[in-house]
A and B are shown apart, each in its own frame.
Chain A
Amino acid sequence: MIYRKIRQPVIRGGCARVSLTMFNLVDPSEPNVASSPPALRVRTGLKTELSAKAQPLAMKTKYDPTDWITHMTRIRDTQDQAAFAELFQYFAPRVKAFLMRSGADATLAEECTQEVMATLWQKAHLFDASRASVATWVFTIARNRKIDALRKQRRPEPEDLVWGPEEEPDQADVLSLQQESEQLGRAIAALPEKQRELIEKAYFGDLSHSEIAEQTGLPLGTIKSRIRLALDRLRHAMK
């Protein structure tokens, strides 16, 4: 037999195949989607429970994400603890919320969040603002910690691209990527409530991969081509 028998798969949530397409109402070309500010929403379900326990720690709601890049540079170049403290105050409570929604209890989430933030400090020199926003980078570190600590699995990562001598990324690339990240954030915030909830469920582990329908309706085109461009440049520079 070529294929050894393995255990029956764990099927979460039965065979429900939740279609995100039914909410596919977002047309990224429509200007009002990208430019409309994130609306204040009334949260329901689990979120309400969480928020009951949550305190508004990081009151800073309006900020320029390029600030965080400067913070990262300060951490990298001068081990600036004040910059780290500000990043911590903003991101740590969000990482903790992400881990709790993914199934960690408060104690484990607290512990893991500290490790995530320490990793951010430790890996500051690896952050590349032309390929990701700081929020995205923090998310990937938190996601990997989740797999390791909560799911007790290894996280296979793709082969690294070959990096050249350390150079500051092109400022125009950095700016475009950050702007497109912001646009994406606004577009997600502006999604119809039900569609946004499904995407949140997919990211917080309440939907299995087979339950995520193909067409997500996410306006990813621009940011994908921006990242693609950065990768192409990188490949070229290394030739």
Chain B
Amino acid sequence: MNNVKHHLTDSLLMAYSAGTLPEAFNLIVAAHISMCDECRARAASFDSVGGALLEEAEAVAMDDSSFAETMRLITSGAMAPLATPSRPAGKSVLPAPVRDYVGGDLDSVKWQSIGMGVKQSILPTSKDASIRLLYIPAGTAVPDHGHRGMELTLVLQGAFVDETDRFGPGDIEIADEELNHTPIADIGQDCICLAATDAPLRFNKLIPRIAQPFFRI
């Protein structure tokens, strides 16, 4: 996809390459890279930094029997067989890594209705951060909220607009403590997003104004 305007930051790509991100963030980064050639290339260049550091690293001696043990591992068939690339290159709304977590395509998502047509589905990851699919009907708003940590939102279908810009398929919004925003799904099409956060969200009203119709904003 070449129309992506909002990309990942260097710090996220570096941490993804280093393997230090929470699983939920790894998933949203992998999903964005699946949709963005630019960030795929950037991620690969950060892997090259890892390769260079590996070569620079001081060697720690292996056990005497290491090589023999490794050959035994190879010849005994004890290694798990390589996963066959079962991913169809179809035109799914969900990128392959997201399909892996859903356990199927869009029709397998177990949506949970949260009012005004908005639906969510929390994907199973480690607890240090969380990630969910959001389904927002065209023209609907997600409540005005701020963030204590970092929130990443990737558009998979449709688009949303907030105080900062418009975000279409493949675009990722990176929101931190400084951003208070009210994302509104674009009127053209229902919006499906992937949203990851490493802290609870902070709503600005006591009772969140869930799914406020577009015309009332």
How far is A135 from B49 in the complex, measured between Cα atoms in Å? 10
Q: Which residues of A contact B63 (CB under 8 A)?
A: 110
Q: Which residues of B contact A188 (CB under 8 A)?
A: 49, 52-53, 56
Instruction: Name A182's closest neighbour in chain B (CB-CB).
Output: B52
- In the complex, the answer to whether B40 meets A113 with C-beta atoms within 8 Å is no
How far is A224 from B42 in the complex, measured between Cα atoms in Å? 6
B18 at the binding interface (Cβ < 8 Å):
yes
- In the complex, the answer to whether B61 meets A55 with C-beta atoms within 8 Å is yes
Q: Which of B12, B25, B56 gathers the greatest number of chain A CB atoms within 10 Å?
A: B56
- In the complex, the answer to whether B85 meets A110 with C-beta atoms within 8 Å is no
A176 at the binding interface (Cβ < 8 Å):
no
B217 at the binding interface (Cβ < 8 Å):
no
Interface size band for B: 35 or more
Instruction: Name A215's closest neighbour in chain B (CB-CB).
Output: B10
Q: Which residues of A contact B34 (CB under 8 A)?
A: 158-159
Query: For chain B residues 1-25, which have a beta carbon within 8 Å of chain A?
Result: 9-12, 14-15, 17-21, 23, 25
- In the complex, the answer to whether A1 meets B23 with C-beta atoms within 8 Å is no
Per-residue contact bits, chain A 24-38, to B (CB 8 Å; 1 contact, 0 not): 000000000000001
A77 at the binding interface (Cβ < 8 Å):
no
**Number of residue pairs across A and B with beta carbons under 8 Å?**
268
How far is A223 from B33 in the complex, measured between Cα atoms in Å? 17
- In the complex, the answer to whether B51 meets A133 with C-beta atoms within 8 Å is yes
Query: For chain A residues 93-147, which have a beta carbon within 8 Å of chain B?
Result: 93-98, 100-101, 106, 109-110, 113-115, 117-119, 121-123, 131-133, 135-140, 142-144, 146-147
- In the complex, the answer to whether B45 meets A227 with C-beta atoms within 8 Å is yes
- In the complex, the answer to whether B67 meets A88 with C-beta atoms within 8 Å is yes
Q: B33, B52, B73, B200: which contacts A118 (Cβ < 8 A)?
A: B73
Query: For chain B residues 32-73, which have a beta carbon within 8 Å of chain A?
Result: 33-34, 37-38, 40-63, 66-67, 69-71, 73
- In the complex, the answer to whether B56 meets A189 with C-beta atoms within 8 Å is yes
- In the complex, the answer to whether A88 meets B60 with C-beta atoms within 8 Å is no
Q: Which of B44, B56, B59, B127 gathers the greatest number of chain A CB atoms within 10 Å?
A: B59
**Other contacts beyond A2-B120, A8-B199, A9-B199: 16, CB < 8 A:** A1-B208, A3-B201, A6-B130, A7-B127, A9-B198, A57-B59, A88-B66, A98-B57, A115-B73, A132-B47, A139-B50, A142-B54, A153-B125, A185-B52, A185-B55, A208-B15
Interchain Cβ contacts under 8 Å between A and B, 15 examples: A98-B54, A110-B63, A113-B66, A117-B70, A122-B82, A135-B52, A153-B126, A156-B26, A160-B87, A181-B51, A185-B52, A202-B14, A204-B18, A224-B41, A227-B41
> Which residues of A come within 8 Å of B, CB atoms?
1-10, 38, 43, 47, 50-51, 53-58, 81, 85, 88-89, 91-98, 100-101, 106, 109-110, 113-115, 117-119, 121-123, 131-133, 135-140, 142-144, 146-147, 151-160, 162, 181, 184-185, 188-189, 199-200, 202-205, 207-210, 212-216, 218, 220, 223-225, 227-228, 231-232, 235
